[in-house]
Amino acid sequence: MLSGSMTIQRLMGAMRKLSASDLHIKVGIPPTYRINGTLRPINADALSEDEADHLLDPIIPERLKSRFETTGDLDFATYDELGDRYRVNMYRAGNHVHAAIRRVKADIPNFEALHLPPIYRKLAEETNEGLILIVGVTGSGKSSTAASMIDHINATRAENIISVEDPVEFRFTNKKSIVSQREIGIDVADYKSALRYIVRQDPDVIFIGEMRDHDTVLAAIQAAETGHLVFASMHTADTSQSFSRILEFFPIEEHGFIRSAMSSSLKAICAQRLLPAAEGFVDEEGKQVGIVPATEVLINTPIVRDRIKEGQDGDFPAIINSSIPDGMRSFTYSLAELVKEEKVAKRVAMEYAPNRDALDSAIKGVQVKTQMLVGKIKG
């Protein structure tokens, strides 16, 4: 058995203090946290086979132990005394127990804590129906952004909010709204099963943790078309890629229908990527900020609606660049803003820039507009 004062409860409890998203238990290495996207082992000896096999024994529900012995896989949830929820995935590898533990935070960050621009609050406050997509690559902070927007609705409006997530990453508490969170693998088998009857559950707001296949995308669009406010996330790098990704789920003969449906139901696409914050950038409590988001926002204005119908997604970057006053923003604009506000070092912004020359000009206050881009918008 594990010796000393190291217990699974203490290891999980330290996740809050360390702002760790995950804890990994594996034979042959020390317990390892994921902090700001990076794996960091604790300063301890590697776990022996016996230690790894029994470390989780105190938190495994008694009724599920036989299932793990039979299948070699197990998902369950547990809580600590501070209200944090942990999703535990145990699996057998090399005939020994390994585990990945995700901390589901009870404290949901607000827009200011996430350093999101004002358009995110505006979308949450002024949108009552339609589809809002939160997109980005893995580890870009999509879940935090979606949770912040949904919790703002939870705190300010009386709505019935239903989420389908894999996994649940933030635990909502009922405020002005009623919130029901369904977790894949624990509450329901898969997204398709959860979304099949979701509109019969009288939702006002629906959150789909990830649109990953034809059925999920179609369910999101149909729910948005029938008067529900739908938040959904996707693994795409920017706003333009989101449309090509959605179309990939459907045969070519259905693309016209999907474009027509998206042109009427879409409200906005919010893309983001996380950057290391500048040294010396601190929050309101004086703590060093580790990461900040660069954001790109496309709002479904009449000109965007027309371009969606016509299949001219390539015009989106030009439209965004000409619509900053309307709340739209490009990654270049966002990066320049972060540098000017001294939240991100210029050299870091350059590493993440879609176009370094454009970013350099934006930082210097020069707005780059070519006749070609202007022509596209006017045309």
| pTM of the complete model | 0.82
Whether residues 245 and 124 share a domain: the answer is yes
Whether residues 243 and 297 share a domain: the answer is yes
**Cβ partners under 8 Å of residue 271, min gap 6:** 135, 136, 236, 237, 238, 239, 242, 295, 296, 297, 298, 331
Residue 166 has pLDDT above 90, yes or no: no
Residue 330 has pLDDT above 50, yes or no: yes
The least confident of 45-49, 167-171, 178-182, 305-309 is 167-171
Residue 204 lies in a domain: yes
Residue 98 has pLDDT above 90, yes or no: yes
Residue 156 lies in a domain: yes
Residue 206 lies in a domain: yes
Can you tell me the mean pLDDT for 37-60?
Answer: 93
Whether residues 157 and 224 share a domain: the answer is yes
Q: How does DSSP assign 319-330, residue by residue?
A: HHHT-GGGT-B-
Q: Which domain does 238 fall in, by range?
A: 111-378
Whether residues 189 and 330 share a domain: the answer is yes
More confident residue, 5 or 342: 342
Whether residues 196 and 310 share a domain: the answer is yes
* Whole-angstrom distance, CA of residue 280 vs CA of residue 285: 13
Task: Dump pLDDT digits (tens) for 111-133.
Answer: 999 999 999 999 999 999 999 99
Whether residues 85 and 132 share a domain: the answer is no
Q: Which of 71, 104, 137 is the last residue of a domain?
A: 104
Residue 320 lies in a domain: yes
pLDDT at residue 37, as a whole number: 75
Q: Which of 89, 104, 119 is the last residue of a domain?
A: 104
Whether residues 255 and 369 share a domain: the answer is yes
Whether residues 84 and 142 share a domain: the answer is no
* Residue 137 burial (10 A CB sphere; 0-12, 13-18, 19+): middle
Please state, for a pLDDT cut of 90, what percent of the chain lies above it.
78
Q: Which residues pair with 130 in a beta bridge?
A: 229
Q: Specify whether the backbone of 136 is left (phi greater than 0), alpha (psi in -120 to 50) or beta.
A: left
Can you tell me the mean pLDDT for 223-243?
Answer: 95
- pLDDT band at 366, cuts 50/70/90? low
Can you tell me the mean pLDDT for 139-145?
Answer: 91
Tell me, what CATH number does 192's domain have?
3.40.50.300
Can you tell me the mean pLDDT for 138-161?
Answer: 95
Residue 2 lies in a domain: no
* Whole-angstrom distance, CA of residue 238 vs CA of residue 298: 10
Q: In the numeric block, which tokens belong to residue 373?
A: 């881009």
Whether residues 182 and 90 share a domain: the answer is no
Whether residues 233 and 167 share a domain: the answer is yes
Residue 341 has pLDDT above 60, yes or no: yes
Residue 96 lies in a domain: yes
The least confident of 114-118, 182-186, 196-200, 251-255 is 182-186
pLDDT at residue 285, as a whole number: 81
Q: Are 113 and 283 in contact (CB under 8 A)?
A: yes
pLDDT at residue 373, as a whole number: 46
pLDDT at residue 370, as a whole number: 38
Q: Which of 67, 83, 104 is the last residue of a domain?
A: 104
Whether residues 58 and 123 share a domain: the answer is no
Domains contained in the chain, number? 2
Tell me, what CATH number does 72's domain have?
3.30.450.90
Average pLDDT of every residue of the chain = 91
Helix (H) or strand (E) holding 223: helix 214-225
Residue 294 lies in a domain: yes
Whether residues 100 and 115 share a domain: the answer is no
Residue 1 lies in a domain: no
